[in-house]
Amino acid sequence: MALPPALIIGTGRWIWSSMWHLMVSQLAPRNNSGEYQRPESQFRQSISSDKTSPFPPASDRYTLIVGEGCPWAHRTLVVRALKGLENAIAVVKVSPDANAGGWRFDVSFEGCTALPELYQKAQPRYSGRNTVPVLWDGETKSIVNNESAEILVMLNDGFNEWAEHPTLNLYPEDLRSSIDGWNEKIYRYVNNGVYRCGFAQTQGTYESACKGLFETLDELDGVLETRRYICGDRATLADIRLFTTLFRFDAVYFGLFKCNLRQIQSYPNLGPYLRDLYQLPGVAETCNLEAVKRDYYGNLFPLNPGQIIPLGPDAMNFSLPHHRDRMGQTEVAY
The Cα–Cα gap between 225 and 291 comes to: 32
| Active-site position among 62, 70, 210, 253 | 70
**Following DSSP, what letter does each residue of 95-107 receive, concatenated?**
EEETTTTEEEEEE
| Active-site position among 62, 171, 189, 195 | 195
Catalytic status, residue 62: no
Bridge partners of residue 145, in order along the sequence: 44, 135
Q: How many CB atoms lie within 10 A of CB 138?
A: 14
The Cα–Cα gap between 79 and 168 comes to: 10
The Cα–Cα gap between 164 and 84 comes to: 5
The Cα–Cα gap between 209 and 115 comes to: 31
**Following DSSP, what letter does each residue of 209-265 receive, concatenated?**
HHHHHHHHHHHHHHHTTT-SBTTBSS--HHHHHHHHHHHHIIIIITTTT---S--GG
User: Exposed (0-12), middle (13-18) or buried (19+): which is 40, by Cβ within 10 Å?
Assistant: exposed
Catalytic status, residue 70: yes
Catalytic machinery residues = 70, 195
